[in-house]
Amino acid sequence: MLALICGQGALPTRIVKNCYMRPLIVSLTQFQPDELVPDINFRLETLGTLLDLLNQREVTTVCFAGGIRRPDINSTLIDEFTQPLAASISEAMAKGDDGALRVMIEIFEQAGFDVIGADDIVPDLLPPVGVLTKRLPTLQDHTDATRGHAIIAGVSNLDVGQACAIANGQVLAMEAYGGTDWMLNSLTERVGSWPLGGVLFKAPKIAQDRRFDLPCIGPETCQKVKEAGLSGIVIAHAGVLVLDVADVIAEADRLDLFIWVCEVPL
């Protein structure tokens, strides 16, 4: 049986719709899914109890999907089943996002669960290489995409972010704690400070475990890119999830943006 440990956003619902049998829906109490009703709510302080419950429900496979923020840990709430995991949880909370997620995967694997990625369930979340839209990237867009890839690769070991905005070779913004939406909103507030144009570049970190926290785009991403004055979106092939590909392409075409799925390095 599959357990979907879900956060916020459209991805968990997309996965459930693609499952032959409804998975067990599990959610952190602090970050409830937008559309799904959880079968089990838990806190990190009760993670050990959750693992026991999943075994009781005959869960064998786990998939993590959706956005969460790093929760605060209340040591007084750690239950007896979670005490043996307390040191690992503390280690995870002290790391960057990628490091923290690696520790969590290890905890689930050591408990006997097979951890899979969202694309294992919904393969068409990863579109093929090429330009998906009517609008094509320019030579400058290609140059900016190359610059974007170099930047994401260069900061991967710092475990910072998975996206940046580049125009005419200049870095306009880098994704950090607030995520891509926050980054693009910050650009929207400064539209007019540079000539319109440029790209949003998204890719996973180098050596990232792709079963967890792959970057993604959706129709709302297109809207925010347009509002930020950029010309299009460049994503790394097999490294960025595209929610509802047809809807994303239609929205990009409506907004006269390009979407380019590129092989990296460029």
Residues 28 and 116 in one domain: yes
Cβ proximity of 3 and 23 under 8 Å: yes
The model's pTM: 0.87
Strands 163-167 and 130-131: unpaired
Please state the separation of Cα 44 from the chain's center in Å: 20
Question: pLDDT for 66-115, tens place per residue?
Answer: 887 777 788 888 899 999 988 888 887 776 666 677 788 899 999 999 99
Residues 112 and 146 in one domain: no
pLDDT at 157 exceeding the cut of 90: no
Identity at 236, one-letter amino acid code? A
Residues 63 and 110 in one domain: yes
Residues 196 and 93 in one domain: no
Residues 19 and 110 in one domain: yes
Residues 109 and 184 in one domain: no
CA distances to 126, 161, 213, 214 from 208, rounded to whole Å, are 16, 11, 9, 8
The whole-number average pLDDT for the span 204-229 is: 89
Cβ proximity of 243 and 10 under 8 Å: yes
How long a stretch of residues is the chain? 266
Determine the pLDDT at residue 132: 97
Determine the pLDDT at residue 266: 56
Q: Copy the structure tokens of residue 238.
A: 């097999």
Nearest to 234 by CA among 262, 266, 192: 262
Determine the pLDDT at residue 80: 92
Residues 159 and 82 in one domain: no
Residues 66 and 164 in one domain: no
**Last residue of some domain: 121, 138, 170?**
121
Residues 19 and 99 in one domain: yes
Instruction: Check residues 102 and 125 and name the one with the higher pLDDT.
Output: 125
**Last residue of some domain: 99, 121, 143?**
121
CATH number at residue 73: 3.40.50.20
Cα–Cα distance measured from residue 71 to residue 93, given in angstroms and rounded to the nearest whole number: 9
Q: What string of DSSP letters covers 201-256?
A: EE-PPTT--TTS---EE-HHHHHHHHHTT--EEEEETTTSEESSHHHHHHHHHHTT
Question: pLDDT for 168-212, tens place per residue?
Answer: 999 999 998 778 989 999 998 877 776 779 999 999 988 777 787
Cβ proximity of 82 and 45 under 8 Å: yes
**Last residue of some domain: 59, 87, 121?**
121
Residues 131 and 113 in one domain: no
Determine the pLDDT at residue 158: 76
Cβ proximity of 259 and 232 under 8 Å: yes
Quote the number of domains for the chain: 2
Determine the pLDDT at residue 115: 95
Instruction: Out of 28-37, 47-56, 67-76, pick the least confident.
Output: 67-76
Residues 6 and 115 in one domain: yes
Angle at 174 between CA 172 and CA 176, to 5 degrees: 150
CATH number at residue 236: 3.40.140.80
Q: Which range marks the domain in which residue 110 is found?
A: 2-121
Nearest to 99 by CA among 209, 245, 226, 254: 209
Q: Under DSSP, is residue 195 helix (H, G, I), strand (E, B) or coil?
A: coil
What burial letters (b/e) apply to 104-137, b meaning 16+ CB within 10 Å?
bbebbeebebebebbbebbeebbbeeeebbebeb
Residues 232 and 105 in one domain: no
